[in-house]
Amino acid sequence: MSRIGVFVCHCGHNIAGTVDVKAVVEQLQRNGDVVFAIDYKYMCSDPGQQLIRESIAKYQLDGVVVAACSPAMHESTFRRTVEIAGLNGYRCESANIREQVSWVHQQDKVAATQKAVEIAESIVEKVKRNEALEPLVLPLTHRTLVIGGGIAGMQAALDIAEAGYPVILIERQDHLGGRMAELSGSYLNFQAAPDLLERKTQQVLTHPNIQTLLNAEVTSLSGYVGNFRVQVKQKADAAESPVMPLDELQPLSFTFDVGAIVVATGWQPYDRARLPEYGGVEIPDVVDGLTFEKMLRQGDGIRRPSDGKLAREVVFVQCAGSRDPEHGVSYCSKVCCMYVAKQAMLYKERVPDGQAYVFYIDIRSAGKNYDEYVQRAMIDYGVLYLRGKVSRIFREGGQTVVWGSDTLTGRAVEIAADLVVLATPMFPSSGSIELGQLLHISTDGYGFFNEAHPKLRPVETLTAGIYLAGVAQGPKDIPESVSQASGAAAKVLQLFSKNEMTASPLVASVIEELCAACGACVKVCPYGARQIHPIWNYATVNAALCQGCGACVVACPNKASQVRNWRVEQVLGMVDKLL
Amino acid sequence: MAESSEFEPKIIAFLCNWCTYTGADLAGTSRLQYPPNVRIIRLMCSGAVDPMYVLKADLAGADGILIGGCHPGDCHYQEGNYKARRRVIALKEILKSAGFDEDRIWLRWISASEGARFAETVREMTEALYAKGPNPMRQTWAV
Ligand SMILES: Cc1cc2nc3c(=O)[nH]c(=O)nc-3n(C[C@H](O)[C@H](O)[C@H](O)COP(=O)(O)OP(=O)(O)OC[C@H]3O[C@@H](n4cnc5c(N)ncnc54)[C@H](O)[C@@H]3O)c2cc1C
Ligand code: SF4
Ligand code: SF4
Ligand code: SF4
Ligand code: FES
């Protein structure tokens, strides 16, 4: 027999106005496992908590059920209270008779009271079999791995390093800066951009807390939040780069222990061969946006790649492959409306008597001062914006012909262009999907990494301790990439604010005698927390990896797998009490 | 519960902690009223709903069994709800072939923000069960 105490809360009128709390107390007093039951006006108030603590001592309670608000509301409050009285927190639970009873059945007091009784009894049934548990304490390595040395990766590395923690930044190219280093400049503050990037790069390279490895990639990852072990390979020809190899490690293959990982692998241009209606890669005077950035970086005039003649008619095609699930990608690349305006204005500065045309579906210039910027291109620079899609681009007599439509006038448009600039999609960096598999974080159909929650957890992944920054997660411009990088750094610092980690002890365990080593749980576990012990031949649980999801419980044919305090007999017992 | 002459269906609901249980809480905070015929058991994930729980509830006379989880793609544990979906389909097949009324088992995706949808689901299910009448298992035990 258990010695459980039941505390029924009025919550002022919130509960007592609908549920007959005295009747609930009377019913529960008849439960064989309950030695004491009482109601009180506000259980979470100081006197309410006092009542619980005193009753634990007075009646030698070995379990507590508080029939009150949702466990999401005050279960942790009551667990702290019973701990003060010397009872293990996991021997205390809330029975939800407010959110799921009194507030939703205000018209039917009899039924609400009956329901409250049954719910309280079902929780008594559960608490009766709850184990007394302590939070898991896990070590925590205060070092971060940042993958990708673009603007996002550098920002995250600097924020973490400035807070005093060591960072290992790995970049697979032979220089830092990522794609930003290939741009002519950036919209809004065009001239300043190269300087800003140069300064950031120097800060990173000279920071005492940042170890930069160029020409390097991750080759394996094991462990879990706070305790990852990564292996990094560095290309042999990288001897010249500013590397500080750790002496105890073999040359060019390094192993690091890190507590957190930031993934900032960025993007690559979309493969134009997949856009044959825009000439694929066949036509020399059709280039993509990034190539045009490189052209802008060279000298003054803008010249045709085919013959070096000055380009007098330039056509920019927005959404060339974006928002076009049939030929390209379904998503909007987000930055093109802005950089096309930038590129068209720069072109006009280089070739003042040239004509720039922009085909667009609609203009997406949401951002501080962004629309004003596009307006400048239209009004001050005389760039001709044509609303419509380009249907075909082909070569004819030394010219590149663009067929499009202007949906505002309803006319078909044909332009003999010297140069066509396609605003092709920003596509995830090559190897993203493989990197995702290696890190056990998921990617979408294209290879962008998935955030833990699209609205509320945009910089975390579902794997604890791995965070996202920049275009690796989805199309973004520089300010957005930098913001997300600082967000990721803040998450890392939040993790590092403790000396060690505590984790919920509500994890799976295995009844060894029942386990047939069938491996079903190993296969079904989404966190790789299960293994078959090579010598003893039964399943084991890595408590640090286990999230307590319960998938293994259902998968186990022998019911050898159980989650602590969510044991099968507990749930079955609850079903009984509710029927 | 004492048997009364008028039939009141009883629904056992297995709700995932992260979505549907929180949605049911939201129905409460929003003071949405729905029939008191449902009894909720909180589990961490719809993927933790063992077919045994459903069978047990059915055999013990529950008139309806509701399994609530996060929308596809939203499961806190990545794919628990897909596992639940596969299992519930299989379980219903088995129950059907054994002569049980598989339509007494409902699987619904209800997010933490869909308090109204939770209330509506309970209302609909209660209505449907009034029409069906009691789970024949109840009589079996009553004899
Ligand atoms: C044509 C064009 C013009 C643009 N103009 C502007 C502009 O004017 N203003 C603006 O705000 N934005 C502009 N953008 C957007 C801007 O380029 C991005 O916002 C920015 O580059 C994002 O930075 P990032 O660090 O996320 O990614 P990246 O710059 O792509 O950096 C990622 C880094 O990670 C490295 N990497 C990738 N995979 C691995 C791996 N597996 N291991 C190790 N390292 C890896 C890459 O080599 C790279 O150095 C433009 C984009 C385009 C397409
Ligand atoms: S414990 Fe919950 S139900 Fe009771 S008074 Fe406090 S808030 Fe209200
Ligand atoms: S409860 Fe979930 S995470 Fe834990 S071992 Fe089982 S399947 Fe893996
Ligand atoms: S599923 Fe059950 S029986 Fe099979 S290995 Fe896992 S714990 Fe053992
Ligand atoms: S956590 Fe809600 S269905 Fe898995």
- Dihedral sign from CA coordinates of A566, B86, B68, B39: negative
Pair of tokens at residue A424 = 């092709």
Question: Cβ of B39 and A572 within 8 Å?
Answer: no
Torsion angle in degrees (nearest 10) through CA of A472, B19, A15, A73: -40
Gap from CA of A529 to ligand 3 centroid (Å): 6
The residues pairing with B118 across neighbouring beta strands, listed in sequence order, are none
Nearest CA, atom 3, ligand 4: A515
Question: Is residue A493 a contact partner of residue A160, using CB atoms and an 8 Å limit?
Answer: yes
Residue A285 is predicted with a pLDDT of: 95
Q: Does B140 reach chain A within 8 Å, measured CB to CB?
A: no
Q: What residue of B is the nearest CA neighbor of A508?
A: B48
Q: Say yes or no for a CB contact (<8 Å) between A553 and B50.
A: yes
CB contact under 8 A, A104 and B56: no
Atom of ligand 4 nearest to the CA of A522: 6
Nearest CA to ligand 4 atom 4: A518
Residue contact A107–B33, C-beta within 8 A: yes
Average pLDDT over residues A18-41: 98
Give the pLDDT band of residue B2 (cuts 50, 70, 90): very low
Give helix A289-297 / helix A336-350 axis angle, nearest 10°: 30
**A106 and B31: CB-CB below 8 Å?**
yes
> Residue B111 falls within a domain, yes or no?
yes
CATH of domain A273-425: 3.50.50.60
Decide which of 3.30.420, 3.40.50, 2.40.30, 1.10.10 is the CATH code for A4-128.
3.40.50
pLDDT at A27 over 50: yes
Which comes out higher in pLDDT, residue A300 or B120? B120
Name chain A contacts of B62, Cβ cutoff 8 Å. Answer: 575, 579
CATH 3.40.50 range(s) for chain A read 4-128
Q: Mind spelling out the 3-state secondary structure of A24-42? A: HHHHHHCCCCEEEEEEECC
Q: Do residues A515 and A543 lie in contact, with contact meaning Cβ atoms separated by under 8 Å? A: no
Q: Which chain B residues touch A553 with a CB distance below 8 Å? A: 48, 50
**pLDDT tens, residue by residue, A340-384:** 999 999 999 999 999 999 999 999 999 999 999 999 999 999 999
CB–CB of A104 and B31 under 8 A? yes
The sign of the torsion formed by the CA atoms of A423, A429, A431, A433 equals negative
> What pLDDT does B141 receive?
53
Q: In this predicted structure, what is the pLDDT of residue B78?
A: 82
pTM of the model: 0.71
User: Which residue from B minimizes the CA distance to A563?
Assistant: B48
Count how many Cα atoms sit within 13 Å of the Cα of residue A85 in the half-sphere of its side chain. 25
Counted across chains A and B, CB pairs separated by less than 8 A come out at: 122
| Domain presence at residue B5 | no
Q: Which of A169, A176, A183 for a ligand 1 pocket mutation test, highest count of atoms within 8 Å of Cβ? A: A183
Pocket probe mutation, ligand 1, options A158, A215, A235, A267, max atoms within 8 Å of Cβ: A267
* B36/A111 CB distance under 8 A: yes
Query: Given CA atoms A37, A38, A39, A45 in this order, what sign does their dihedral have?
Result: negative
Query: Has residue B46 been placed in a domain?
Result: yes
Total of domains in chain B: 1
pLDDT(A184) > 60 = yes
Across A64-87, average pLDDT: 97
The domain defined by A144-266+429-496 carries CATH number 3.50.50.60: yes
Q: Is A506 near ligand 4, meaning CB less than 6 Å away? A: no
Domain with residue B81: its CATH number is: 3.40.50
Q: What's the pLDDT band for A300 if we cut at 50, 70, 90?
A: confident
Cα of A15 to nearest chain B Cα, Å: 12
Q: What is the pLDDT of residue A485?
A: 98
pLDDT digits (tens, 9 = 90+) for A165-177: 999 999 999 999 9
Q: Is the pLDDT of residue A310 over 60?
A: yes
- The reply to whether B96 touches chain A by the CB within 8 Å rule is no
| Kind of pairing between the strands at A216-224 and A313-317 | unpaired
Instruction: Say if residue A425's pLDDT is above 90.
Output: yes
Phi then psi dihedrals of residue A48, to 5 deg: -60, -45
Question: Which option is the CATH number for A508-563: 3.20.20.150, 3.30.70.20, 3.40.390.10, 3.20.20.300?
Answer: 3.30.70.20
Tell me how far apart the alpha carbons of residues A398 and A418 are, in angstroms, rounded to a whole number: 9
Query: Ligand 1 atom 6: the closest Cα is on which residue?
Result: A186
B28 in a domain, yes or no? yes
Q: Is residue B3 part of a domain?
A: no
Q: Which residue has the higher pLDDT, A515 or A240?
A: A515
Distance CA A260, CA A258 (A): 6
Confidence tier at B3 by pLDDT (50, 70, 90): very low
Domain(s) of CATH 3.30.70.20: residues in chain A: 508-563
> Is ligand 1 within 6 A of the CB of residue A267?
yes
Does the beta carbon of A556 lie inside 6 Å of ligand 4? yes
Tell me, yes or no, whether B6 lies in a domain.
Answer: no
Q: Which residues from chain B sit within 8 angstroms of residue A99, using beta carbons?
A: 24-25, 27-29
Q: Please, are residues A490 and A198 in contact by the beta-carbon 8 Å criterion?
A: no
State residue B134 phi and psi, 5-degree precision: -65, 155
Least confident of A164-168, A288-292, A397-401, A476-480: A397-401
* pLDDT at residue A321, rounded to an integer: 94
The owner of tokens 């049911």 is B24
Using most ligand atoms within 8 A of CB, pick from A146, A158, A180, A480 the residue to mutate for ligand 1: A180
Which chain A residues have a beta carbon less than 8 Å from that of B47? Answer: 549-551, 554
pLDDT in tens, A451-502: 988 888 899 998 889 999 999 999 999 999 999 999 999 999 999 999 998 8
Range of the domain at B49: 11-135
Q: What is the pLDDT of residue A238?
A: 43
Q: What are phi and psi of A243, to 5 degrees?
A: -115, 145
pLDDT tens-digit readout, A143-157: 999 999 999 999 999
The tens digit of pLDDT for each residue in A232-252 reads 999 865 444 455 554 444 458
- Report the nearest atom of ligand 5 relative to the CA of B75: 4
Mean pLDDT along residues A430-440:
92
Determine the pLDDT at residue B138.
Answer: 76
Q: Rounded to an integer, what distance in angstroms lies between the CA atom of residue A136 and that of residue A544? A: 8
B-chain residues near A526 (CB < 8 A): 77-80
Range(s) of chain A covered by CATH 3.50.50.60: 144-266+429-496, 273-425
What secondary structure letter does DSSP report for A19?
A: S
A452 is written with which tokens?
């833990």
Residues A200-243 pLDDT 10s: 999 999 999 999 999 999 999 988 899 999 999 998 654 444 55
Q: Which amino acid is at A578?
A: L
Calculate the average pLDDT of chain A: 94
Over residues A317-326, mean pLDDT: 93
CB–CB of B24 and A554 under 8 A? no
Q: What element of type H or E holds A149?
A: none
Examine the pLDDT at B106 and tell me if it is beyond 70.
yes
B105-116 average pLDDT score: 95
Could you identify the residue written with the tokens 């979906």? B85
CA A115/CA B37 separation, integer angstroms = 8
Q: Cα separations (Å) of A467 from A163, A265, A356, A513?
A: 17, 12, 41, 40
